[in-house]
Structure 1
Amino acid sequence: MVRRIASQVHKQSSRLVRAGLIRTPPVWYQAVLEHPPIPLPPREPPSRTSYDSAPPKQRAFVSKKTPGPRPLAISYIEDDIRRQFFRDHPFESFRPRSLTEAGAIEDEHPISGLQWTRLNQRGRNPSPEDAVRFALNLHQAHGLALSDAYAASVAQFRTLRAVQHVATRFAAQQASIAHGARFGPSATARGFAAESAVLEADERRSERLDDSTRLARRRWRMVPLGNGGSSSSSSSGGEWSRGEEYVRLWREGVRPDYSPALTEPIEPTVSTDFIGTLGRRT
């Protein structure tokens, strides 16, 4: 008998008895029919005993090999600060910056450590790298928490950026009003101009394609031809009769001729002067 859930054993036995596969019912059959087992809750697996469960597999002895040397992960605090800074200020990565390497490594700034308490001590136009170094200096030299050091560095960096932006705007306005200076388009304006030029080129290309399509349609439009002078309308002006002339000819039993150029004799195209010249030569 196939193993089944405990609440279905007597049902399977009843089917086997009715089919005649079991001639003598088991001893427990009548008792189970009088007191059937309680149905199991839905989706609850049947209870297994130690006898029903499979014996544990004996694992073969595996010798533990000594793991090979692995390098430790290299992590710097300034990398985390720099990553968070550019996540908060993504447009700072678009600012032009000189990547020309000098002959020697950059010397350490004289203001550092405990002396560096303000970001503007290293200039009024700081770079993102200055803000990262200032946050690291506040964390290591002054003992501030990394979040507090980063917040202080970012606040001072934004303040200096705002001052630099306002000063540049007023200087440009004063130069244009007082001295008549004319400034060229900015990088943003040049980008928009290039984008507009590309869009206009695409529009002109699509217009040329449309013009070529229209010309092709005009070139290949239908020109009705006459049917050898059998109809008055075709001989008079070659106008299209909307199929009425074709139906009339079909009813009369006249077969239209669509290729008069193939049935008519070919006219001589050689001139008489050329024929006379050939006669004199012979």
Structure 2
Amino acid sequence: MGRLNLTAINVRKTALLNLKAKKTNAAPKWLEIVGDIPPAQILTRQQPMRHPLSKVRTRTLPGGKTEQYIQVTESKKSKSTRGQHLFTPTTLRYEEDSLRRRFFSDHPWELARPRVVLETSGDQYKSADWSKGVQQPGVALSGESVVQRQLWLLENVPDITIPQAYDIARKEFYALRRREETRSRIAAEEARHMGAQFGKSAIQVSMGIENHMYNDWANWSRAVVSEITQKAAAFEGTITAAEDNALKEVADEDGQSPQPAIGAGVFAQQQQRDTRSQRRTV
């Protein structure tokens, strides 16, 4: 366990010793108060409380009536009850966590939607009635709406399962999203009809960037192939058809006349030297 830290308990004693040794000129204002009401000297800590997962469900009784009951699920023995983790706070678990995790794993792009963060009173969810659907007044449509709607269905609809509640809330969410997209598309068409210009879309901009990068890579690859073939031709003293074709393609794209290959120049110079040597010998 190590040594116990008694600094908080001996704080008044330390202040009196500093005052006696004249390390401090004036006594702190809390000196007499701490003497009258000393801090607690309990050196043991209580073990953290366990937080079981509770779920509210509705079931149908044999007489046809319905009843709400609570399912309590005890968590497995965790590391917090062992040795050095004995006093570590336990994790709080709620049913919404699993519902939220499943929805956003199925709809990851919902996290990429822009959100408007405003400083409100924080009680806008008090007036929300999730029995009427996913859309609530004053609450923006998001994945959290689906989670709250699914939770209400699980707690109030008799004998409903998690997949059934998820399908109901998910389909309501899809219908509202389609309505929003249709409304936005109609508004954009009306604006274009009245002369508005929105410029290029995100897909057009990305395709333009992709085409530019592809053209740069194509030019670079042609230049590298031409350089390699020219070096090979200069070393061998010959010229290849692939080199001529590569040089013609580069010249046609740049709008310039094709330049003679390095291999062709070397080969022509070698022929001239051979002709001169033959004339001298004759």
TM-score range, shorter chain: 0.3 to 0.5
Q: Which has the higher contact order (CA 8 A, sep 6+)?
A: 2
Give the TM-score, by structure 1 length: 0.47
